[in-house]
Amino acid sequence: MGLDSARKFALQNAVLHGGKAEAKAVLGRLLAEDASLRSRASEAGAHVDRVVADVNRLSSEAQRAELVAIAPELLEKAPVEAGPKELPPLPSAVDGKVVLRLAPYPSGPLHIGNARAFLLNDAYAKRYHGRLLLVFDDTIGSEEKPLLPEAFDQVREGLEWAGVEFQEVLYKSDRIPLHYEWAEKLLATGEAYVDECDAETLRKNREARKACVHRTQDVDETIAMWKAMLSGEYREGEAVVRLKTDMADPNPAFRDRVLFRIAEREHPRVGSRYRVWPMLEFSWAVDDALLGITHVLRGKDLVMEDLMETRIWDDLGIERRPAFVHFGILRFKDIELSKSTYRKMIAEGRLTGIDDPRTWSLQSLRRRGIRPAALRDFVLSFGLSLNDIEVPVETLYAENRRRIDKEANRYFFVPDPVAVEIAGLPPIERVKAPLHPEVPGRGDREIPVGPKVHVAKEDFSKFRGKEVRLKDFCNVMLDHRATFVSLENKDIPKIQWVTHGVNVHLVLPDGSESRGLGEPLVASLKVDDVVQFERIGFARIDHVSKAEVRAFFAHR
């Protein structure tokens, strides 16, 4: 295994796709075979680019000959077996006693960047036969990142598609009275205070490591100011509750952090019932304790939350606490993940909705035919590593390909069709082609033939004037008026074709569209069928009508 496998996979990809290997697909196969390379994805990608460039300079005959010499088994297109996905144990975890929680902020649907957190929590809850709570972090949000009423259902829909099993659904907005009780207990200890200082004064104080004048006020005055916040005597931005952390802390953000603030916006669930809202760190200090959470699994970028929760528990004498377990950040090359950006683009009509493939939401993955099991195995293969990892999305595609390859029947789809008349064609009415070349028992499909066929514009431009094989049909010298050569299956470039068929509209991952003709049997497919359009890639059927079949491209 390792980088040495790149050449055999590049040769296989080239042989299967008309002599031209695609670097992304080769990299996906390589990373699927050897998971240890995922932490070296950049190095592996550069190596694959060099190997693919070299392989693509070879003739088709030379590619096939070399593949036969070094890896003949790949001519059978054997699937790559997944490696073990064993996770390390959680500290002090007791079977049947583990309680974990998911904490989605309902500003939109979950996307692929959220997957590591929710799938790790789900995997550990199942491993220890524990409970997983879905607790919506629906404190008030902000003008820039508002709560969206529809997001609550979108989040649940995504989690259920992903196979995440939660035993209870809770909402922070229902628990505000509990947060107020804890706030008053904390204020009574003198470890928190109400601050009226404006933002500029606060900034200067933090830079100078100087305490706000309100920090030293007595507890009674602080409690009175707190009650004034609740009763509406302060407007938004005029007062906040702060924790008395060290003003000399090396991290300025940790100096007297905010615990509560005033927000006068309407909440999608509780309306204007509350105007003083907890910050997430405080709300979790309360709820992790009251809900009996045993382990908090979160990204290592959220260590500040650990420190804040711990400090609040120390101040209030809370002894029963969860263990904090961290993991590194998982990033994807060339993918922008921003709910606010996508929300704006949807509002402007530049995206079709939350399941537009460019959002990378769980809904969009489902629509493209990505299997939940593929997403799960992909994410869990990284375990609880603290290392930040950047991977190409082709790694996920490799996992998905293993699951759908055997079930996906093959069909011809000709994008941007060019009409070709075949001179000298024998009297043939139809030909047979396998529904799946590796599953003979599935049977054949019949394709009508005639002297007029359609081929893809790209193939026509590339092979015009050359001999090609119309796959599973015949060999021709390709031109607008092509010449029949023979029926034998020669080792020459093979291209798709249709005589007549159904209009197909293929939506690509970048939001662009490919339109053309599919063979007649494509019209009999059903929504949610996953197929492979030969030499193009896998796709999920999204809509079928008399006028057209619409499909969403998954990957090659």
In a domain, 400, yes or no: no
pLDDT confidence of residue 201: 83
End-to-end CA distance of the chain: 22
In a domain, 88, yes or no: no
Per-residue pLDDT band at 17 (split at 50, 70, 90): confident
Same domain (yes/no): 446, 513: yes
In a domain, 395, yes or no: no
pLDDT confidence of residue 40: 75
Retrieve residue 536's tokens: 């193009």
**Cα separation, 174 vs 138, whole angstroms:** 9
- Tell me: the pLDDT tens digits for 395-414? 899 999 999 999 999 999 99
Residue 464 has pLDDT above 80, yes or no: yes
Same domain (yes/no): 24, 170: no
Same domain (yes/no): 359, 417: no
Same domain (yes/no): 170, 180: no
Residue 82 has pLDDT above 50, yes or no: no
Are 484 and 497 within 8 A, CB to CB? no
Same domain (yes/no): 165, 297: yes
Please give the order of strands across the beta sheet that includes 409-411: 409-411, 530-533, 537-544, 549-555, 502-507, 513-518, 413-415
Query: Higher confidence at residue 56 or residue 171?
Result: 171
Tally the domains of the chain: 4
Same domain (yes/no): 181, 165: no
Same domain (yes/no): 420, 536: yes
Return the number of other C-beta atoms located less than 10 Å from residue 364's C-beta: 25
Question: Can you name the residues that pair with 517 across neighbouring β-strands?
Answer: 414, 503
Per-residue pLDDT band at 207 (split at 50, 70, 90): confident
pLDDT confidence of residue 73: 67
- Tell me: the pLDDT tens digits for 158-202? 999 999 999 999 999 999 999 999 999 999 999 999 999 887 887
| Residue where a domain terminates, one of 368, 398, 417 | 368
Are 480 and 421 within 8 A, CB to CB? yes
* Mean pLDDT, the chain, whole residue set: 92
Per-residue pLDDT band at 387 (split at 50, 70, 90): confident
Same domain (yes/no): 504, 474: yes
Same domain (yes/no): 255, 353: no
Q: What is the CATH number of the domain that holds 227?
A: 3.90.800.10
| Residue where a domain terminates, one of 252, 278, 304 | 278
Residue 436 has pLDDT above 80, yes or no: yes
What sign does the CA torsion over 158, 164, 165, 170 have?
negative
Q: What is the CATH number of the domain that holds 293?
A: 3.40.50.620
Concatenating the DSSP letter of every residue in 12-29 gives HHHHHTTT---HHHHHHH
Same domain (yes/no): 445, 503: yes
Which uninterrupted H or E stretch holds 56? helix 41-56
Mean pLDDT of 270-282: 96
Retrieve residue 156's tokens: 């649940």
In a domain, 148, yes or no: yes
**Contacts within 8 Å (CB) and 24+ apart, 148-152:** 148/106, 148/107, 148/108, 148/268, 148/343, 149/268, 149/269, 151/106, 151/107, 151/108, 151/109, 152/106, 152/269
Per-residue pLDDT band at 77 (split at 50, 70, 90): very low
Segment among 62-71, 90-99, 158-167 with least mean pLDDT: 62-71
Contacts of 122 (CB under 8 A, 6+ apart): 132, 162, 163, 164, 165
- Tell me: the pLDDT tens digits for 282-315? 999 999 999 999 999 999 999 889 999 999 999 9
Same domain (yes/no): 107, 193: no
In a domain, 153, yes or no: yes
Are 418 and 53 within 8 A, CB to CB? no
pLDDT confidence of residue 84: 41
pLDDT confidence of residue 219: 96
Concatenating the DSSP letter of every residue in 461-516 gives HHHTTSEEEETTTEEEE-SSEEEEEESS--SS-EE--BSS-EEEEEE-TTS-EEEE
- Beta strands 409-411 and 530-533 are parallel
Residue 448 domain boundaries: 407-556
- Tell me: the pLDDT tens digits for 449-462? 999 999 999 999 99
In a domain, 383, yes or no: no
In a domain, 297, yes or no: yes
In a domain, 133, yes or no: yes
Segment among 34-43, 239-248, 251-260, 524-533 with least mean pLDDT: 34-43
- Beta strands 452-456 and 444-448 are unpaired
Same domain (yes/no): 50, 120: no
pLDDT confidence of residue 1: 54
pLDDT confidence of residue 379: 94
- pTM, entire model: 0.84
Per-residue pLDDT band at 61 (split at 50, 70, 90): low
Q: What is the CATH number of the domain that holds 467?
A: 2.40.240.100
Residue 81 has pLDDT above 60, yes or no: no
